Amino acid sequence: MMKIVIIGNGMVGFKFCEKLVAKAPKDSFEITVFGEEIRPAYDRVHLSEFFSGKTADDLTLAPADWYAANDIQLYLGDPVKEIDREQKKVYSIRGLSVSYDILVLATGSSAFVPPIPGVEKNGVFIYRTIEDLEMMRDWAKKTKKGAVIGGGLLGLEAAKAMIDLGITDTHVIEFAPRLMPRQIDEAGSVILKNKLESLGLKILTNTNTTAIQGEDSIKSMLFADQSSIDVDMLVISAGIKPRDELAKQAGLETGSRGGIVVNEQMQTNDKSIFAIGECALYKGMIYGLVAPGYEMAEVVADHLVGGQKTFHGFDMSTKLKLIGVDVASFGDPFVAAGDGRTVVLEDTMKGIYKRINISTDGKYLLGGILIGDADAYNMLLQTAKNKVILPPNPEDMILGARGGESSGGDSVSALPDDAIICSCESVTKENICKSVTENNCESVDEIKKCTKAGTGCGGCVPMVKDLMLHTMAANGKYVRNVICEHFHYSRQELFDLVKINQLKSYDEVLDTFGKNDGCEICKPVVSSILASLWNELILDKGNAAAQDSNDRFLANIQKGGTYSVVPRIPGGEITPDKLIVIGQVAKEYHLYTKITGGQRIDLFGAHLSDLPAIWKKLIEAGFESGHAYGKALRTVKSCVGSTWCRFGLHDSVSFAIQIEERYRGLRAPHKIKSGVSGCIRECAEARSKDFGIIATEKGWNLYVCGNGGSKPQHALLFATDLDSETCIRYIDRFLMFYIKTADPLMRTAPWLNKMEGGITYLQNVIINDSLGIVAELEREMQLLVDSYKCEWKEVVDNPELQKKFSHFVNAPEEKDPSVKFEAMREQKKVADWK
């Protein structure tokens, strides 16, 4: 078996493993990977999302057991210290020695740190690994004034991260006369600078740092013109330095400014050693982006299974992920006058700059720059890359068509089949269209799974979606997200229609907006909309029969046909007396009792006809409905908090109870769960909830859109250090916005995942009121809060309603004789079904 050793488990090293195991028959290679970092390869491109709530796990490309499952021996936290080319062996720091037939260097690069006196001081960071970010996060707590050296792609991303860390007073220091000198021109740079300044950043161009001053920690920076600024945290992002030290030491050929020299097979001057990714120097060039790195991985993997692929350089087009400012540059952004003509659109008021370069014959797009509005990026990039013949008025591409017709769909369809849409994963237009026509993918998620398009940097996702919709429409597939055959509306549309027309019953809604007789899909949806809008008793107005069975009988139907009883126990706090009542009721009605996963007690096995009597007793003892049967607020889990816990910062129980009581009975597209933890140890697991609250020194951090269940997802940090009142105000808005816009049976996590613009968009709507709706959201929520009534209390007080709780209409006192129980551990269980 051929032995392959890979040094470096970064993005490209991982991709190489993935490609190799996909191509090679099992057992054809024995693969060993050495990684210097302590965790398996993660998504460095989206590293900055670490500051907006993503965890190291979220960023991981594949967990350690993926390697195990593919028979790859992975050594982490164990860098290779020496390559012995004679013996064909590598030696690791921890003392392992492994021999190879083929060695692949994927050692990436490190941040280039210019030799400025004082760079070693505390508070000076680089921006490359999760550890770097962890250290930055800790340091940022005591920081007021920040700076970033480097006004390039990465430097600006680091500057944005500083703002995210709360250091709003941040300088960006660039040596060159303008920002992003390698990607954009002078005019574009001016616009970009204005935009960034409006975000609060201070930009110093033409500035050369000569010293970093302070005792042990950085206090200020001194510049060549003798000016200085006070700084207590600095990130250096002045470029990258390929990690070629190992190669150099082994006598492989390296470039004078770093990088391991490779040919078009990615081979070094030693035929059995390859280099890929950011450490490889091809024709004098280091490719500091993932897509070319993945292409290099492809070339070597292909070579090892006998293929002929070669590397021929790569397009370095980029789109900056800075939030608030779109910046993109593609193809050749700077075409000189003689080599083509240039069309420029500049709007200093709006902060928009667009430039396209067109070949002298006017036929082809050569490249361009987009600032302030980069929506056209994907389309332009594809047009340039695929040498699509330009229309007679190419300026329309950046000006937008004036009067004439040109739809997004048309432009995607103009691309040739072999146009590469996702360059990270080399997925063509044809691959994507086929996934729709042949594999029946009908969502971007399905296409991602099927083709891997959009799973890298994510930049092509809007285009993938366009292509999907276009292909679906071309194949006569219905694209609209309608509820069912009876309502040709999405839930959100129907919600608004019901509201505007003040409809109060299922039948009215069906008569006005639906057709035929309805079904088990639209009935619960409409019932939930009615409850979310008016909060009237769900069994009123003839609506009972339009409820899901659980809502109709205000209890969860169990195997066997009996029901469960779940009284609300807000925050999980319960008095001994109430516990005794639960015990008594359970004994009297022979109910199985269990502590649930939601910090309360479930009583199982109640006959339908016993429910009103059981609830009468519970309500007399001060309980109320727990809405375990509804798509409604379930529990607000809490930890014990500062009243007892030695680490507690605030009283999490009181806050959990307050919140649970505020939102009890609230009907939504799906159930909603919450949690409140008294400190960062997070014993209430608040981050697995639809909204979770964690105490901080200064107040509460609010997290949103988490989920347990089968697709667990941590809630993302939404707002920090809130006082209780603001926290509740944000939750009011958040929940109401969810209720109004989510699809049926969609929890908050998938709702957010589907939302364009994601968490930032949501923050804008809820916190910055970008849609101008928060006052209305608050009003609507307050109406629901004020009109809350315990459903079970209404039934217990109303003999007419109670009548509905019998098994036989013509023998109301008889129970269902088919219900059978068996004994188990001193309680009972339902007899098994077939």
Q: What are the residues binding ligand FAD (CB under 6 A)?
A: 7-13, 34-37, 44-45, 47-48, 79-80, 106-108, 127-128, 154, 157, 243, 246, 277-278, 288-291, 293, 321, 457
Residue 108: contacted member of ligand SRM, other proteins, ligand FAD, none (CB under 5 to 8 Å, by partner type): ligand FAD
CB of 805 to ligand SRM, least distance (A): 17
CB of 593 to ligand SRM, least distance (A): 10
Cα(554)–Cα(548) distance, integer angstroms: 10
* Tokens matching residue 464: 């993938």
**Which residue minimizes CB distance to ligand SRM?**
709
**557 near other proteins, judged by CB under 8 A:** yes
Residue 219 main-chain phi, psi, to 5 deg: -120, -35
Nearest of 556, 501, 506, 497 to residue 527 by alpha carbon? 506
> DSSP 3-state assignment of 474?
helix
Buried b / exposed e over 586-599, threshold 16 CB at 10 Å, is: beebebbbeeeebb
Contact with ligand SRM (CB under 6 A): which of 372, 560, 598, 630? 598
Residue 516: contacted member of other proteins, ligand FAD, ligand SRM, none (CB under 5 to 8 Å, by partner type): other proteins
By C-beta, is 583 or 597 nearer to ligand SRM?
A: 597
Q: Which burial class, exposed, middle or buried, applies to 765 when counting CB atoms under 10 A from its CB (0-12, 13-18, 19+)?
A: buried
Q: Which of the ranges 48-56, 261-269, 387-395, 518-526 carries the binding residues for other proteins, by CB under 8 A?
A: 518-526
**628 near ligand SRM, judged by CB under 6 A:** yes
**519 near other proteins, judged by CB under 8 A:** yes
**For ligand SRM, what does the binding mask look like between residues 680 and 709, x meaning CB under 6 A?**
---------------------------xxx
Span between the terminal Cα atoms of the chain, in Å: 51
By C-beta, is 293 or 571 nearer to ligand FAD?
A: 293
Q: Which residue has the tokens 């809820």?
A: 766
By C-beta, is 697 or 832 nearer to ligand SRM?
A: 832
**607 near other proteins, judged by CB under 8 A:** no
**814 near other proteins, judged by CB under 8 A:** yes
CB of 278 to ligand FAD, least distance (A): 4
CB of 826 to ligand FAD, least distance (A): 56
By C-beta, is 367 or 570 nearer to ligand FAD?
A: 367
Contact with other proteins (CB under 8 A): which of 486, 568, 733, 747? 486
**516 near other proteins, judged by CB under 8 A:** yes
The interaxial angle of helices 11-23 and 290-304, nearest 10 deg, is 30
Helix ranges restricted to H, 477-521:
491-500, 506-513
**820 near other proteins, judged by CB under 8 A:** no
**798 near other proteins, judged by CB under 8 A:** no
Cα(160)–Cα(195) distance, integer angstroms: 12
Cα(249)–Cα(233) distance, integer angstroms: 35
Q: Which of the ranges 8-16, 61-69, 92-100, 516-524 carries the binding residues for other proteins, by CB under 8 A?
A: 516-524
Please answer whether residues 139 and 162 qualify as being in contact, where contact means their C-beta atoms are separated by less than 8 angstroms. no
Cα(102)–Cα(104) distance, integer angstroms: 7
Q: Which residues contact 376 (CB under 8 A, 6 or more apart)?
A: 354, 370, 397, 398
CB of 684 to ligand SRM, least distance (A): 10
**669 near ligand SRM, judged by CB under 6 A:** no
By C-beta, is 19 or 747 nearer to ligand SRM?
A: 747
Q: Which of the ranges 103-111, 226-234, 394-402, 558-566 carries the binding residues for ligand SRM, by CB under 6 A?
A: 558-566
**612 near other proteins, judged by CB under 8 A:** no
* Tokens matching residue 37: 């970092």
DSSP-derived letter for residue 173 is: E
> DSSP 3-state assignment of 150?
coil
Residue 83 main-chain phi, psi, to 5 deg: -115, 125
CB of 449 to other proteins, least distance (A): 26
| Footprint on residues 743-782 left by ligand SRM (CB under 6 A) | 747
Residue 486: contacted member of ligand SRM, ligand FAD, other proteins, none (CB under 5 to 8 Å, by partner type): other proteins
Contact with other proteins (CB under 8 A): which of 342, 386, 550, 609? 550
Please answer whether residues 395 and 359 qualify as being in contact, where contact means their C-beta atoms are separated by less than 8 angstroms. no
Residue 388 main-chain phi, psi, to 5 deg: -70, 135
Print the SS3 string covering 652-713: HHHHHHHHHHHHCCCECCCCEEEEEECCCCCCCCHHHCCEEEEECCCCEEEEECCECCCCCE
Nearest of 563, 601, 555, 608 to residue 580 by alpha carbon? 601
* Tokens matching residue 660: 């649970």
Q: Which residues contact 772 (CB under 8 A, 6 or more apart)?
A: none
DSSP H or E run through 593: strand 592-595
Contact with ligand SRM (CB under 6 A): which of 209, 318, 543, 635? 635
Residue 564: contacted member of ligand FAD, ligand SRM, other proteins, none (CB under 5 to 8 Å, by partner type): ligand SRM
**523 near other proteins, judged by CB under 8 A:** yes
CB of 107 to ligand FAD, least distance (A): 4
Residue 596: contacted member of ligand SRM, ligand FAD, other proteins, none (CB under 5 to 8 Å, by partner type): ligand SRM
Cα(689)–Cα(677) distance, integer angstroms: 12
**Other beta carbons less than 10 A from residue 88's beta carbon:** 18
Contact with other proteins (CB under 8 A): which of 1, 336, 809, 823? 809
Beta strands 228-230; 220-223: pairing state: antiparallel
By C-beta, is 259 or 293 nearer to ligand FAD?
A: 293
57, β-bridge pairs: none
Residue 811: contacted member of ligand FAD, ligand SRM, other proteins, none (CB under 5 to 8 Å, by partner type): other proteins
* Tokens matching residue 741: 């816009």
**265 near ligand SRM, judged by CB under 6 A:** no
By C-beta, is 86 or 800 nearer to other proteins?
A: 800
CB of 108 to ligand FAD, least distance (A): 2
Cα(564)–Cα(607) distance, integer angstroms: 9
Binding residue count for other proteins, defined by CB under 8 A: 37
Alpha carbons within 13 A on the beta-carbon side of 593: 15
**561 near ligand SRM, judged by CB under 6 A:** no
Contact with ligand SRM (CB under 6 A): which of 70, 122, 213, 596? 596
**Which residue minimizes CB distance to ligand FAD?**
10
Cα(583)–Cα(570) distance, integer angstroms: 18
Nearest of 191, 205, 199, 195 to residue 170 by alpha carbon? 199
Cα(484)–Cα(521) distance, integer angstroms: 7
By C-beta, is 39 or 662 nearer to ligand SRM?
A: 662
List residues near ligand SRM by CB under 6 A.
Answer: 556, 558, 564, 566, 594, 596-598, 600, 602, 628, 634-635, 671, 673, 707-710, 747
List residues near other proteins by CB under 8 A.
Answer: 485-486, 507, 516-520, 522-524, 542, 544-550, 552-553, 557, 559-561, 804, 807-811, 814, 816, 818-819, 833-834
